[in-house]
Amino acid sequence: MKLFDFQNQFHRLRRASKRRSIQLVISISFTLVAIISMSFMAMAFYTNYINTSRQNAIDNDEKIVEQISWNLNSYLRNMMGVSNSMYYSVIKNLDLTSDSMTKEMDILYEANKDDLISIACISQDGALISAAPIATRKNGVDFTEQSWFSDTEEEKVENFHFSAPHVQNMFESDNYRYYWVVSLTRSIDLNYMGYIRRGILLVDMNYSAIEQMFMKANESGEGYVYLIDSNGEIIYHPAQKAIYSGLANENNIVASGYDDGNYIETFEGNERAVIVKTVGYTGWKIVSVTPVKELIGESFQLRVFMLIILTITIFMILFGNLFIARVVTDPIKKLEDSIGVIDAGMLDEDVIFIGGTHEIRHLGRTIKSLVVQMRTMMEESVAEQKEKRKSELNALQAQINPHFLYNTLDSVVWMIESEKYPEAISMITSLASLFRISLSKGNNIITIRDEITHAKNYLAIQKVRYKNKFEANIDVDPAIEDCITIKLIIQPLIENAIYHAVGDLYDEGVIDIKGYEKDGDIYIEVKDNGMGIPPEKLKDLLKEKGKSQGKGSGIGLWNINQRINLYFKEDYGLKIESELDVGTTAIIHLPKISYQEYMGGDGNEKK
Amino acid sequence: MRRNRFFIGMFLVLILLIIVEFYVYANSSVFEGEDERISFVVTGDNLDDWETLKSGAETAALDNKCQVTFLNSPVSAGVEGEIELINRQIYEGAEYVYVASGYYDELYEYIKEQGLKSKVRFVKNGSCGDDKYSIIADDYSMGKDYGKYIIDDGFSGSLYVMYSSDSVNNLNFIKGLEEAVDGSDVYLKREYVTMDDSSLINHIYNIYKSGLYNGMILLDANVLDCAMSLGVDQKSGFAIYGVDDRQAAVYYLDSGSIQALACKDDYTIGYLAVKAVLNNGDKVSDEGVPLYYIINKEQIYSEEYEKILFPFVK
């Protein structure tokens, strides 16, 4: 059912689309093409802008990470330099049984105290040999239990070890200050009168120096930078306390597995750009995290701005196209409207619109010329047809009058000679009436009443001539008397009935003339009780003269039928029915048109 | 005619659309969401004393379109100073104002009367049961836990409870402590002191020297400082327990001057306070994140407590 409905809808749409105007087609097509092209371009530019912005932001972040890395490396190199200086320039050259390193240590400390918390030299068994700044070791603190001590003990002299950040708890502090430090340690050789013992050189780096490097980078924007060791443990993070407390999370363990470069990762439902850079010497990694949505910055405003431009452009395209389409198609529309007038039947060339572009004007002029030609041709054709019919009718009618006139006049002469004056007067009166109706002021169409009167007059004349050898009965429905008929169609039938049927009968012949309406048409029957017509003759009766083989004119019947066909359609005409020894019936079939109706329109014939 | 109406309609729709878009563009910051503004009003003459709380609040605000402002009301200004600051912050557009008040009871009544409960919340100081939106450690539980710790630590005898502020925090703490030691070998003597420092030092000395008590539990900073200035020998068996958030208290513990320390986690309190605002005003679940700790010397430098006791602040 759904498929059926869909098909139905589709067909309805197709039908509706076929009724579209040219203006609508132009407007919609141009608008769609413009909007699609523009949208495509806008999307391409926007995507390119977004990608470029994103890449620029990533490049910028990479530079920041690079800078931090450089600073951190520099700091670490500096600290290592302090350690190297202390060891290679001082400790290595000392005999600890007699010499002291305190002074040199102090100098080195003072020179770097912004970046250091302390420097210390510790023997293998955990004894403090020297430290700067000078401070008392805390009670109960055993150096050998510190993780930095145990991690460094077995290392080579050249190898540095960096601890995780921790609070320095080795020395007493008189101001309640506790320092977070990263311990840089190395194993060293201590010389005791030529005996080499292992020891540890400890440089406690001030953690806040590292913190400061990262805090500057984390001051603005939604992104941040943090530092992890090679195991992923956080060394610095702007929210490290929250992470340690379990209030916040970070993807540090995963980040420790990244090689240097930039990545897009999803963490806790947020997409972020991650840049990783490994710090030399330590294996630490600097990780920069920026939410992806911040990479393109002020995206919301940009999108709204694009939407504004798009809307205004659609506005301009739409109405611009409508206006242009209107300018282009208005003349076509006007031309179409004027052709519509022509189509309705009004062949007036003055209504044809001439205007618009050159092509439309040319089209209009051509159509105008065609209309003129059409009208002329039609008028000529109509006139020609009228003339043709008129002459045909006239010619046809002219064929049936002469003999009757002669005979009738002979009869009148005979009556006068026989001093039968009333009969003569009656006959001449009837003749006059006959001719009046025959002429009918040149009209070919008369009422049935007049045609019956004409028949009556004819019968009156013929009865005298045939000495009442036959009887004629006329029964015409009064309702059809005011309808039209072609003149001189009943009289020839009566003539035939007299000449070929009842005229030779010894018994009294009967001619019945009947007129009635049936199925909306008019039928007039002329029936006689003559000998009938043999079938072989009957079939030729309505054929044109020359084709009929029998005696007698035959012209009258063909004439009647032809005139009826000419004036009305082929559906109407004359039919002959006959039965031998019974009689013959001629049936005229006419359309029912009242005389008033006929007089109301000039073109009523041949509808 | 119908077509003209259609085009006029389209024209009007497009014009309206352009106007709306221009409006959205001009006010894009409103539609993107302005930053939340949260103010913290704290009591004290030195804002540095609240550095840890501030650090927690600022960490929570980081990257979350949130501005945090810290203001201190001097002690001398009293509760009126706090009220004035609170009202000014609200007037200037703060979404919420958190108060760590030194005059909790009066301020609480004021807030209730003024109908400001939807805007003003309490943090750190106060009774945690009064307002479900306040971020306050459960002092009663802390007192109870501390009592248990003291008993588990092997202490028995008389314990002198001294405090210089009759705040609801201290009173709740003492209630918990009393309940914890009830029925045990620990007997409490409580005293609210209002004397100056030199008198207080003498008083503490007398208590120590009287021999009537086996130890003290000191609930306020100045009381603890006075006790520490005496330099009581821990080997004498007189146990001193502290309740204090300061770094100095950690030093006392580290140096062995006090047996144990109960401290509140200001960082977490500040963090949770801001997170509650960012969570549409509802409290964020803080199960499993304690707001106070009871620590001894051996635990100071452990991985768990080192980062709590020594915040990463300069």
- B260 and B181 part of one domain: yes
Which pLDDT belongs to residue A550? 44
Q: Which two tokens stand for residue A18?
A: 């076929």
As a whole number, mean pLDDT of residues A550-576 equals 77
- B237 and B253 part of one domain: yes
Q: For chain B, say whether A4 makes contact (Cβ under 8 Å).
A: no
How far from the centroid of its chain's Cα atoms is residue A506's Cα?
91
Which pLDDT belongs to residue A349? 81
Smallest CA-to-CA distance from A302 within B225, B311, B28 is with: B28
Phi and psi dihedrals of A203, rounded to 5?
A: -120, 110
- B118 and B210 part of one domain: no
Q: Which two tokens stand for residue B93?
A: 């557009």
Which range has highest mean pLDDT (A330-334, B84-88, B130-134)? B84-88
Domain of B117 in residue numbering reads as 37-136+266-283
Strand partners, A192: A195
In a domain, B48, yes or no: yes
* DSSP states along A335-358: HHHHHHHHHTT---GGGS---SSH
Cα of B242 to nearest chain A Cα, Å: 16
A206 burial via Cβ count (<10 Å: 0-12, 13-18, 19+): buried
In a domain, B224, yes or no: yes
Buried b (16+ CB within 10 A) or exposed e, B240-272: bbbbbbbbbbbbbbbbebbbbbbbbbbbbbbbb
Smallest CA-to-CA distance from B227 within B193, B262, B176, B188 is with: B193
Torsion of Cα atoms, B125 then B127 then B131 then B136, to 10°: 50
Cα of B52 to nearest chain A Cα, Å: 10
- Cβ of A245 and B268 within 8 Å? yes
Which residues from B are below 8 Å from A314, CB to CB?
A: 14
Above 70 in pLDDT, residue A514? Answer: yes
Q: Which residues of B touch A (CB under 8 A)?
A: 7, 10-11, 14-15, 17-18, 21-22, 24-25, 28, 31-32, 55-56, 59-60, 62-63, 247-248, 250-251, 254, 256, 265, 267-268, 271-272, 275, 288-289, 300-301, 306-308, 310-312, 314
- Cβ of B18 and A315 within 8 Å? yes
Which chain B residue has the Cα nearest residue A177?
A: B247
Q: What is the pLDDT of residues A76-120, one digit of tens each?
A: 999 999 999 999 999 988 888 888 888 999 999 999 988 889 999
User: Which of B24, B63, B250 shows the shortest C-beta gap to A222?
Assistant: B63
How does residue A143 score in pLDDT terms, banded at 50, 70 and 90? Answer: confident
Strand partners, A594: A483
CATH 3.30.565.10 in chain A is located at: 402-543+552-600
Q: What is the pLDDT of residues A258-275, one digit of tens each?
A: 999 999 999 999 899 999
Q: What is the pLDDT of residues A430-481, one digit of tens each?
A: 888 877 877 666 678 889 999 999 899 888 888 877 776 788 999 999 999 9
Q: Is B308 helix (H, G, I), strand (E, B) or coil?
A: helix
| Residue B126: Cβ within 10 Å count | 26
User: Which of B21, B308, B311 shows the shortest C-beta gap to A307?
Assistant: B21
Which residues from A are below 8 Å from B258, CB to CB?
A: none
- B124 and B178 part of one domain: no
Above 90 in pLDDT, residue A517? Answer: yes
> Which one-letter amino acid corresponds to residue A531?
M
How far from the centroid of its chain's Cα atoms is residue A219's Cα?
54
Please tell me what DSSP assigns to residue A401: S
Which chain A residue has the Cα nearest residue B306?
A: A167
Which pLDDT belongs to residue A151? 80
Smallest CA-to-CA distance from B205 within B235, B231, B241, B244 is with: B231
In a domain, B7, yes or no: no
Smallest CA-to-CA distance from B220 within B257, B254, B184, B194 is with: B194
Strand partners, A166: A181
**Strands, E assignment, A492-602:** 509-518, 521-528, 573-579, 583-591
Contacts of A93 (CB under 8 A, 6+ apart): none
Above 90 in pLDDT, residue A157? Answer: no
Calculate what percentage of chain B has a pLDDT beyond 70.
93
Q: Which two tokens stand for residue B122?
A: 């309490």
Please tell me what DSSP assigns to residue B212: S
Which pLDDT belongs to residue B3? 66
- B42 and B80 part of one domain: yes
Kindly tell me the sign of the dihedral angle through the C-alpha atoms of A16, A18, A20, A26: positive
Above 90 in pLDDT, residue B36? Answer: no
Which pLDDT belongs to residue B263? 92
Which pLDDT belongs to residue A607? 41
In a domain, B313, yes or no: no
As a whole number, mean pLDDT of residues A319-338 equals 84
Q: What is the pLDDT of residues B204-240, one digit of tens each?
A: 999 999 989 999 999 999 999 999 998 887 667 889 9
Above 50 in pLDDT, residue A548? Answer: no
- How many contiguous H segments (helices) and E segments (strands) does chain A have? 17, 18
Which residues from B are below 8 Å from A270, CB to CB?
A: none
- The ipTM (two decimal places) reads 0.84
Among left, alpha and beta (phi > 0; psi -120 to 50; other), residue A283 is left
How does residue A416 score in pLDDT terms, banded at 50, 70 and 90? Answer: very high
How does residue A308 score in pLDDT terms, banded at 50, 70 and 90? Answer: confident
Above 80 in pLDDT, residue A513? Answer: yes
Which residues from B are below 8 Å from A138, CB to CB?
A: 254
In a domain, B199, yes or no: yes
Q: How far is CA A30 from CA A227, A271, A325, A365, A579, in A?
A: 58, 41, 9, 29, 81
Smallest CA-to-CA distance from A492 within A404, A575, A391 is with: A404
Q: What is the mean pLDDT of chain A?
A: 84
- Cβ of B301 and A311 within 8 Å? no
- Cβ of A169 and B254 within 8 Å? yes
In a domain, B8, yes or no: no
Smallest CA-to-CA distance from A331 within A339, A320, A321, A342 is with: A339
As a whole number, mean pLDDT of residues B71-75 equals 89
- B277 and B131 part of one domain: yes
Which pLDDT belongs to residue A447? 92
Which residues from B are below 8 Å from A166, CB to CB?
A: 301, 306
Above 90 in pLDDT, residue B34? Answer: no
Q: For chain B, say whether A20 makes contact (Cβ under 8 Å).
A: no
Q: For chain B, say whether A318 makes contact (Cβ under 8 Å).
A: yes
As a whole number, mean pLDDT of residues B173-198 equals 93
User: Which of A180, A305, A311 shows the shortest C-beta gap to B312?
Assistant: A180
Q: For chain B, say whether A322 makes contact (Cβ under 8 Å).
A: yes
Which residues from B are below 8 Å from A240, CB to CB?
A: 307, 312
As a whole number, mean pLDDT of residues A484-498 equals 88
Report whether B271 contacts B314 (CB < 8 A). Answer: no
Which residues from A are below 8 Å from B307, CB to CB?
A: 240-241, 244-245
Smallest CA-to-CA distance from B68 within B46, B45, B44, B47 is with: B47
Number of structural domains chain B divides into: 2
As a whole number, mean pLDDT of residues A548-574 equals 73
Smallest CA-to-CA distance from A458 within A423, A422, A495, A487 is with: A495
As a whole number, mean pLDDT of residues B74-100 equals 91
Contacts of A363 (CB under 8 A, 6+ apart): A335
Q: Which residue has the tokens 């050249």?
A: A158
- Cβ of B289 and A247 within 8 Å? yes
Compute the distance between CA of residue A529 and CA of residue A582 in angstroms, rounded to an integer: 6
- B86 and B102 part of one domain: yes
Q: For chain B, say whether A315 makes contact (Cβ under 8 Å).
A: yes
User: Which of A167, A305, A307 shows the shortest C-beta gap to B310?
Assistant: A167
Above 50 in pLDDT, residue A553? Answer: no
A442 burial via Cβ count (<10 Å: 0-12, 13-18, 19+): exposed
Q: Which two tokens stand for residue B48?
A: 């540095």
Phi and psi dihedrals of A180, rounded to 5?
A: -85, 135
Above 70 in pLDDT, residue A19? Answer: no
- B214 and B181 part of one domain: yes
Q: What is the mean pLDDT of chain B?
A: 87
- B150 and B258 part of one domain: yes
Which pLDDT belongs to residue B314? 42
Top CATH class, A402-543+552-600: alpha beta
Q: How far is CA B288 from CA A246, B60, B291, in A?
A: 9, 18, 9
Above 90 in pLDDT, residue A42? Answer: no
In a domain, B49, yes or no: yes
- B127 and B57 part of one domain: yes
- Whether the predicted model's global pTM rises above the 0.90 cut: no
- Cβ of B18 and A240 within 8 Å? no
Report whether B203 contacts B195 (CB < 8 A). Answer: yes
Compute the distance between CA of residue A591 and CA of residue A573 in angstroms, rounded to an integer: 10
CATH 3.30.450.20 in chain A is located at: 59-296
CATH for B46: 3.40.50.2300
Which pLDDT belongs to residue A264? 92
Above 60 in pLDDT, residue B116? Answer: yes
Q: Which two tokens stand for residue A462?
A: 């013929």
Which pLDDT belongs to residue B283? 62
Q: Choosing among B17, B18, B53, B59, which should be mutated to test the A contact, i.e. which has the most A CBs within 10 A?
A: B59
As a whole number, mean pLDDT of residues B1-16 equals 79
Which residues from A are below 8 Å from B300, CB to CB?
A: 169
How far from the centroid of its chain's Cα atoms is residue B148's Cα?
23
How does residue B288 score in pLDDT terms, banded at 50, 70 and 90? Answer: low
- B92 and B180 part of one domain: no
Q: Which two tokens stand for residue B83?
A: 């009220």
Q: Is B115 helix (H, G, I), strand (E, B) or coil?
A: coil
Compute the distance between CA of residue A286 and CA of residue A266 in angstroms, rounded to an integer: 19
SS (H, E, C) A125-155: CCCEEEEECCCCECCCCCHHHCHHHHHHCCC
Buried b (16+ CB within 10 A) or exposed e, A283-307: ebbbbbbbeeebbbeebbbbebbbb
- Cβ of A241 and B55 within 8 Å? yes
Q: Which residue has the tokens 């009967």?
A: A510
For β-strands B66-73 and B239-243, DSSP reports them as unpaired
Above 70 in pLDDT, residue A190? Answer: yes
Task: Quote the longest CA-to-CA distance of chain B.
Answer: 109
- B115 and B125 part of one domain: yes
DSSP H helices, A85-195, are 102-111, 147-152
Buried b (16+ CB within 10 A) or exposed e, A139-166: eeeebeebebbeebeeeeeeebbbbebb
Q: Choosing among A304, A317, A319, A330, which should be mutated to test the B contact, i.e. which has the most B CBs within 10 A?
A: A304
Which pLDDT belongs to residue B312? 64
**Considering just the CA atoms, what is the radius of gyration of chain B in Å?**
26
How does residue B139 score in pLDDT terms, banded at 50, 70 and 90? Answer: very high
- Cβ of B250 and A178 within 8 Å? yes
Q: Choosing among A20, A139, A233, A247, which should be mutated to test the B contact, i.e. which has the most B CBs within 10 A?
A: A247
Which pLDDT belongs to residue A552? 42
How does residue A1 score in pLDDT terms, banded at 50, 70 and 90? Answer: low
**Strands, E assignment, chain B:** 36-43, 66-73, 96-100, 120-122, 157-163, 186-192, 215-218, 239-243, 260-264, 292-296
Which pLDDT belongs to residue B31? 63
Which residues from B are below 8 Å from A313, CB to CB?
A: none
Buried b (16+ CB within 10 A) or exposed e, A213-245: bbeebbeeebbbbbbbbeebebbbbbbbbbbbb
Q: For chain B, say whether A171 makes contact (Cβ under 8 Å).
A: no
Count of alpha carbons within 13 angstroms of residue A562, beta-carbon side: 18
- Cβ of A308 and B31 within 8 Å? no
Q: How far is CA A543 from CA A523, A552, A557, A561, A575, in A?
A: 21, 13, 8, 10, 12
User: Which of B31, B251, B307 shows the shortest C-beta gap to A176?
Assistant: B251
Which pLDDT belongs to residue B246? 87
Q: Choosing among A206, A237, A240, A241, which should be mutated to test the B contact, i.e. which has the most B CBs within 10 A?
A: A241
Which pLDDT belongs to residue B287? 54
Q: What is the pLDDT of residues A369-395, one digit of tens each?
A: 998 998 888 888 888 777 767 766 665
Which chain B residue has the Cα nearest residue A208?
A: B314
Compute the distance between CA of residue B220 and CA of residue B163 in angstroms, rounded to an integer: 6
Above 60 in pLDDT, residue A67? Answer: yes
In a domain, B213, yes or no: yes
Domain A59-296 has CATH 3.30.450.20: yes
